[in-house]
Amino acid sequence: MYVPAHFAVTDRAALHDFIEAHSFGLLVSEVAGAPFATHLPFLLERERGPHGALVGHVARANPHWKELATRPALAVFSGPHAYISPRWYEAENVVPTWNYVAVHATGRAIVIEKPGELLEIVRRSVEVFEAGEPQPWELDTSGPFVERLLAQIVGFRIEIEALEGKWKLNQNHTAERRVKVVRALDARGGANARGIAGLMRAALVPGE
């Protein structure tokens, strides 16, 4: 993606934290010569390779997996976003924009079809995404139900070859203008506005 230097985030730990916090992403590659996308949750393996790896599964009926290992794959993770009105800057010669945060991870996928490895992906997914529940649900791995489940899915692992982060938070404007934008976002309310306001507030350098 296009990442101007003042919006770039390169710290691997910060990018990994973002992926885990916004783990429902978009997997994009090519199927039958055309772009193809699947929305799904990802698991992150932080220590695999230089940039980590992404693990997930899709329905066997989804054609995405059939060419997944033969093409570069892109995983897109999006965070909060908000429209920014030029009125908020209280300045001349400014234009509307949109603030947002996103991480792109690209690499080559390995397709996983062995039942034991698929079961481990499902088990880990349940463990990770049930962790915040008051009474986490547990997967019963015995009996024919799980066998039928595993027959209906295909797993994958993408070893990340390139990891990009873009935090577009008005860094190209003065601190005074950014403070005004934060104030306007706080007043607007809503999860996205609050999320962007919080990120902008955290990025302000004292005395800037």
Quote the pLDDT of residue 142.
Answer: 84
Confidence of residue 207 (pLDDT cuts 50, 70, 90): low
Pull the structure tokens for residue 135: 């009474």
Residue ranges making up the domain that contains 153: 5-197
In Å, what is the CA distance from 30 to each residue of 41, 45, 155? 19, 24, 17
Residue 44 pairs in a beta bridge with 54
Closest CA to 86 of 74, 70, 99, 73: 99
Helices (H) and strands (E) in the chain — how many of each? Answer: 5, 8
Residue 75: its H or E element: strand 72-84
Report if residue 137 sits inside a domain.
Answer: yes
Q: Establish if 208 belongs to a structural domain.
A: no
Examine residue 203 and state whether it is found in any structural domain, yes or no.
no
CA 144 to chain centre: 34
Please report whether residue 86 resides in a domain. yes
Q: What residues does 103 pair with on adjacent strands? A: 77, 165
pLDDT of residue 201: 96
141, pLDDT greater than 70: yes
> What is residue 143's predicted lDDT score, i.e. its pLDDT?
82
pTM of the model: 0.94
Asked if residue 205 belongs to a domain, the reply is no
- The answer to the question of residue 172 being in a domain is yes
Q: Quick check: is 159 in a domain?
A: yes
Domain at 41, CATH number: 2.30.110.10
Query: Domain count of the chain?
Result: 1
Structure tokens at 147: 């066998």
Distance from C-alpha of 11 to C-alpha of 8, rounded to nearest angstrom: 9
CA 15 from centre of chain: 9
Q: How far, in Å, CA of 112 to CA of 204, rounded?
A: 44
